[in-house]
Structure 1
Amino acid sequence: MFQTFEASADPSQGAERVAALRRAMAEAGVDGFLVPRADEHQGEYVAPRSERLQWLTGFTGSAGAALVLLECAILFVDGRYTLQVRQQTDPALFEYESLVDLPPAQWLAANLTSSTRLAFDPWLHTIAEVKGLRAAAEKRGATLVPVDNLVDRVWADQPQPPLGPASIQPESLAGMLAKEKLPLLAERVAESGATATVLTDPSSVAWAFNIRGSDVPHTPLMLAFAIIPAEGRPQLFVDNRKLDIEVKAYLTQLADLRSPDLLEGAVRAAASQGPVGLDFGLAAEALRLLVEDAGGQMVALSDPARLPRATKNKTELAGSRAAHRRDGAAMADFLCWLDAQDAGSVDEIKAVQQLEACRRQAGDDAQMPLRDISFDTISGAGPNGAVIHYRVTRKTNRRLGENELFLVDSGGQYQDGTTDITRTVILGTPTAEMKRHYTLVLKGLIGLSMLRFPVGTRGCDIDAIARMHHWKAGLDYAHGTGHGVGSFLAVHEGPQRIAKTGTEKLLPGMILSNEPGYYKAGAYGIRLENLIVVEDATAIEGGDLPMHAFETLTLCPFDRRLIDTALLAPEERAWLDSYHARVRKEIAPMLGGETLAWLEAQTEPLPA
């Protein structure tokens, strides 16, 4: 629980481990092996046992892949990790490519030879991904070979599968009973023409059964699969050791409990009874192979729990608002404390520890304790803030220096809601350049916050709103503007997102982040992040389209010292003053003493 600060992999071990993998490749009669950052559920959040990419390369990012061939090795990462991957891995061992601009399938299509036999673990790649890989291999006359995982053969001290205890999410927080949710999923299966579907995403399993777990860091997931039939009782595949008497009795009322090693046989049995619905973008290729081997048919069926999970009900939204009020109070305590420290007296680790302590206190005071942080806190001082997904370790720990920017991206897991907030502050006096860049980022956040948009709008349609002022200044940032957020679930939740690739329609109840940024390599990083929720917009006289808008959930002031008020338009100033007044109104009753005085000063209207 909570954050540790040890470096999780040693780049110097990469050469030995890649060599061991190549020996395993030779024994298997293949010329290459793909190592994605994934597990059997294709999730971003993986247990230590599934951190194969990190073990092999040293790279600790949440997305990426390694392609190890006999003569070369390539690491694919996206724009968030271009600096980090070079710091954590051996550049003499790996070449680096863009996961977005030249993903593995495109690289294979351009570089494989006709004699190449490329191996992959079919449990770690989706059906859609393998379709692309196979097409790329066939284009070059190469062969794609499914195998048992080759990294597992050479990882001598690989951790055991997790056995974190499960818990029940009560109706008072979930807003709907599992016995009401499961029939709705069965209806969607029947409508698709399938007789059953496999839920592979642990977040969907958690939502459908109102169950939470502790199998992966910082995210209350129980790693499990479920088979949802169009008719009859669901089957839940979970290690019995995760379930105490109460949880087991609860789940037994909802489904037939099965051992995970019975999943393959159950999928074959389902395939023999009728078409099996699989989400090609989420389900592992191994499940397709099981259906095919059983002589069954597949139906393309989007995970039926995904949209209902993403569109939070009134109870879940009320819980999120309450969690954000407590989290805002914790952030105020932390930022007040930070303002009182002398430059150089605090380092990145101490800042993380203090923030965690503030969150614990806020949760304890409200009888809704902090269960965990929602991800490893990004605590970046000076140039470390320019590493978009920087993770402080004892080796990289840096003091917060005089006249430097400090970026802190953090969140909490409370049973009534998941939070995620980023603030960038100055310790001392900012330069004019810092203020300009900070204000451009703030303008992007405000622009998205104020936006009204037609029903049916997608995330990709509004991503440019947050970038508009960057682009006018010849700037940009190498990450999406917003990701979905769960309800005491994953802090990164699909399918909703605000990004160039965000093709899902934004629906009322969807919670997203609003986090534009700017990063000057070797100098500083700036990111500002609030969570927002899609809501129906108030009708305007004369308008003829139904519209949506955003409600801001996060409650925390921005650093006034970094705002160049001359760059703000009147409506932007008005939004910021209104937001700060709301922050003061909602969290001031939870504060006292120095923190209350600090908050009142930070939320005063901007000077004329």
Structure 2
Amino acid sequence: MFQSFKTISNPAQAAPRIARIRELMAEEGLDALLIPRADQHQGEYVAPCSERLAWATGFTGSAGAAVILADRAVLFVDGRYTVQAHEQTDPALFTIESLVDNPPREWVKTNLKKGDRLGFDPWLHTVAEVRALEKSLEKIGATAVPLARNLVDAAWEDRPDEPTGRVIVHPLKYAGVAAEQKLDMLSGKLAAEGLDHTVLTDPASLAWTFNIRGSDVPHTPLALGFVFLSAEGKPKVFLDERKLDAEAKTHLVNLADLHAPAALLDELAKLARTGARFGLDENLAADRLRQVIEDNGGTVVAFADPAALPRAIKNETELAGTRAAHLRDGAALATFLAWLDRQEPGTLTEISVVEQLESTRAKVGEAMQMPLQEISFGTICGAGPNAALPHYRVNEKSNRTVNVNELLLVDSGAQYFDGTTDVTRTVAIGQPTDEMRKRFTLVLKGMIAISLLRFPEGTRGMDIDAFARQSLWRNGLDYNHGTGHGVGSYLSVHEGPQRIAKTGATKLMPGMILSNEPGYYKPGHYGIRIENLIVVSPAEPIEGGDLPMHSFETLTLAPIDRRLIEPSLLTEEERAWLNAYHRRVYQEISPLVDEETAKWLEQATAVI
């Protein structure tokens, strides 16, 4: 099993844990303590030893923070997790605040007072976060206190060890570009900016730059470590050697000087004492790194992670790999959806659906000689009202029967050596209502609008987000999440800097993979989301046009539930796109599945 349905949440343990944290706060002379959901790398997925917020509060969501005071405690979560936060925390201990509308940096302005000392671990907050926090506290005469020890760690007696997951070399047949070439390119970027060094703090940048993959965190093949890159000279990699077999160690030693993680700060201080100029990504790098550089005479310059953009622009080998991965994944999805259609309503639960999907992906991967390595994120499988929670994660407590005349939303993905997938399909169980069909079709129209879009070079994700929402907006509807996120190549399923959203400021460039996933959610009733992955491609020129244009190639190959489509709401262009897409799904997937599934697929992709 790749996914566990047990939750570590235990509100009954929160009271003694918070009491112990308060004792340690008193020892440090603190009035408040900030506990983020973060690790030293600011990753979305963290190792068990870094689940400090979950340990202290019981809340297990992927984003959040807590502020502990002597007489009260506050948990901050975004809209995805409001219901979950109330379920997982003790109301006698915690109040719930919005991480978006009133984050800790704003909350402190009205809840702390002059002279108060707020402690924080500078390893767990970025340079930009600490700057914003200090600015807020300064306005009220309070102080942010960087701590030499993490107080949660000090209270957590059975804290798990740091991970030592196996590191493997990511072969050139999947990576497409040798690590030596990538290192030369990154060193050139530093020299061009007049910088001596930078620190790559994102393990995805370590993995991409050195063509390695790891297994330190759930769902994403990352090895936790840091890199010092220099304009001149060999890079330094800080990685626990217990993760390396002979092949991986030889690979890395040929590219870099290898150091233990414990040596990082000493080596950083040594470089800083030369008066060097360091580029740090202020939105990724831990403030602890800035402290050490500046305390030892170095200069910190704002500098975006130089590996982020080239990592996002997939090369031809990576694109060929992701196309192959989506064919394989499409075969698994068709097999799963055909199976789902044969089941009687009321006989399945959300967990049994997830287990079947994971099992099917594993079997199809083995049969096609490219095994499933992991799921790319915890599968979202919501039946009926649970589907109205956009990022719902089923567990043994919330597990719900899939009943007749409901919608079932399944958002899932896979990690293969040659690519990462992410797909959402909403399926009718029994007879959908007219309202369900209309709103599903409005969501579909938004997904098709992005799929059909042609746009000039230089267009950003924020410039096209509204195309996905226009049909919903015309009907007084919307969804409260972005339309698309970037996706890696056997890396993170949520990859920046590219995204389609109101905040998507990065230009969309050929080779960037994104999701296309508009939705609609009716609280307490049902949820709808349709998601394909797409890749930015140069568009065919149009006679008479004078601008270079881009378009999207659709990667995902899975049928869209025809029972939920109201054809009268589709334009001729939308209908033509849908029929062409379904024809492609049938032609490319039917040869890869068994006869029973192929027959089902023929009906599922019939012309509308």
TM (norm. structure 2) is 0.98
Q: Distance in 2 between matches of 1:126 and 1:172?
A: 35
Q: Distance in 2 between matches of 1:574 and 1:102?
A: 45
SS at match of 2:258: strand
Contact 2:235/2:256 (8 A) holds in 1: yes
SS at match of 1:443: helix
| Residue aligning to 1:11 | 11
What one-letter code is carried by the residue in structure 1 that aligns with 2:420? T
Partner deviation per Cα, 1:265-317 (whole Å, 9 max, x = no partner): 11111212311111111100000000011111112111110000000000000
1:521 aligns with 2:503: no
For 1:463-542, what aligned pairs fall within 5 Å after superposition? 463-542=465-544
Contact 1:37/1:53 (8 A) holds in 2: yes
Pick one of 442, 448, 469 that aligns with 2:444.
442
Contact 1:200/1:225 (8 A) holds in 2: yes
Deviates more, 1:472-481 or 1:329-338: 472-481
| Residue aligning to 2:190 | 189
Pick one of 453, 456, 467 that aligns with 2:455.
453
| Residue aligning to 1:212 | 213
Structure 2 unaligned spans of 5+: none
| Residue aligning to 2:256 | 255
1:39 aligns with 2:14: no
| Residue aligning to 2:177 | 176
Q: Distance in 2 between matches of 1:60 and 1:475?
A: 30
Contact 1:312/1:509 (8 A) holds in 2: yes
Deviates more, 1:53-62 or 1:288-297: 53-62
Q: Distance in 2 between matches of 1:298 and 1:327?
A: 44
Per-residue deviation, 1:592? 2.2
Q: Distance in 1 between matches of 2:461 and 2:451?
A: 14
What one-letter code is carried by the residue in structure 1 that aligns with 2:230? P
Deviates more, 1:190-199 or 1:135-144: 190-199
Deviates more, 1:64-73 or 1:247-256: 64-73
What one-letter code is carried by the residue in structure 1 that aligns with 2:201? T
Q: Distance in 1 between matches of 2:369 and 2:61?
A: 34
TM (norm. structure 1) is 0.98
| Residue aligning to 2:65 | 65
| Residue aligning to 2:318 | 316
SS at match of 1:370: coil
Per-residue deviation, 1:42? 0.8
Pick one of 421, 424, 429 that aligns with 1:422.
424
Per-residue deviation, 1:88? 2.3
Per-residue deviation, 1:524? 1.4
Pick one of 598, 601, 605 that aligns with 1:599.
601
| Residue aligning to 1:149 | 150
What one-letter code is carried by the residue in structure 2 that aligns with 1:372? E
Per-residue deviation, 1:127? 0.2
For 1:232-381, what aligned pairs fall within 5 Å after superposition? 232-273=233-274, 274-381=276-383
Contact 2:498/2:514 (8 A) holds in 1: yes
SS at match of 1:283: coil
Per-residue deviation, 1:110? 3.3
Contact 2:169/2:211 (8 A) holds in 1: yes
What one-letter code is carried by the residue in structure 2 that aligns with 1:47? A
Q: Distance in 2 between matches of 1:269 and 1:190?
A: 20
Partner deviation per Cα, 1:456-486 (whole Å, 9 max, x = no partner): 1111111111111222222221211111110
| Residue aligning to 1:29 | 29
SS at match of 2:485: strand
Contact 1:80/1:478 (8 A) holds in 2: no
Per-residue deviation, 1:602? 0.8
Contact 2:510/2:537 (8 A) holds in 1: yes
What one-letter code is carried by the residue in structure 2 that aligns with 1:247? A
SS at match of 2:273: helix
Contact 2:7/2:60 (8 A) holds in 1: no
SS at match of 2:373: strand
| Residue aligning to 1:229 | 230
Contact 2:206/2:227 (8 A) holds in 1: yes
Deviates more, 1:531-540 or 1:103-112: 103-112
Contact 1:84/1:387 (8 A) holds in 2: no
Partner deviation per Cα, 1:99-145 (whole Å, 9 max, x = no partner): 22222212223332112100000000000110000000001100000
Aligned residues: 606
What one-letter code is carried by the residue in structure 2 that aligns with 1:490? S
What one-letter code is carried by the residue in structure 2 that aligns with 1:321? R
Per-residue deviation, 1:385? 1.1
Per-residue deviation, 1:83? 2.6
Q: Distance in 2 between matches of 1:480 and 1:76?
A: 20
Contact 1:497/1:512 (8 A) holds in 2: yes
Per-residue deviation, 1:16? 2.7
Partner deviation per Cα, 1:20-69 (whole Å, 9 max, x = no partner): 22222112110111111110001111101101111122222211111222
Contact 1:61/1:389 (8 A) holds in 2: no
Structure 1 unaligned spans of 5+: none
Q: Distance in 2 between matches of 1:391 and 1:326?
A: 25
For 1:9-158, what aligned pairs fall within 5 Å after superposition? 9-147=9-147, 148-158=149-159
Contact 2:234/2:255 (8 A) holds in 1: yes
What one-letter code is carried by the residue in structure 2 that aligns with 1:249? T
Contact 2:268/2:293 (8 A) holds in 1: yes
Per-residue deviation, 1:409? 0.6
Deviates more, 1:445-454 or 1:9-18: 9-18
Q: Distance in 1 between matches of 2:24 and 2:396?
A: 34
Deviates more, 1:92-101 or 1:365-374: 92-101
Q: Distance in 1 between matches of 2:586 and 2:40?
A: 45
SS at match of 2:449: helix
Runs of 4+ with >4 A deviation: none
Q: Distance in 1 between matches of 2:66 and 2:471?
A: 36
Q: Distance in 2 between matches of 1:403 and 1:378?
A: 20
| Residue aligning to 1:432 | 434
In angstroms, what is the RMSD of aligned CA positions?
1.2
Q: 1:476 to 1:91 in 2, by over 3 A?
A: farther
Q: Distance in 1 between matches of 2:563 and 2:203?
A: 43
Per-residue deviation, 1:442? 1.0
| Residue aligning to 1:544 | 546
Q: Distance in 1 between matches of 2:9 and 2:151?
A: 19
Contact 1:378/1:408 (8 A) holds in 2: yes
Per-residue deviation, 1:384? 1.3
What one-letter code is carried by the residue in structure 1 that aligns with 2:302? A
Contact 1:270/1:276 (8 A) holds in 2: no
Per-residue deviation, 1:14? 2.4
Q: Distance in 1 between matches of 2:20 and 2:410?
A: 39
Contact 1:81/1:388 (8 A) holds in 2: no
Q: Distance in 2 between matches of 1:88 and 1:471?
A: 34
Partner deviation per Cα, 1:511-567 (whole Å, 9 max, x = no partner): 111111111122111111111111111111222221111111000011111111111
SS at match of 1:519: strand
Per-residue deviation, 1:85? 2.1
Contact 2:80/2:392 (8 A) holds in 1: no
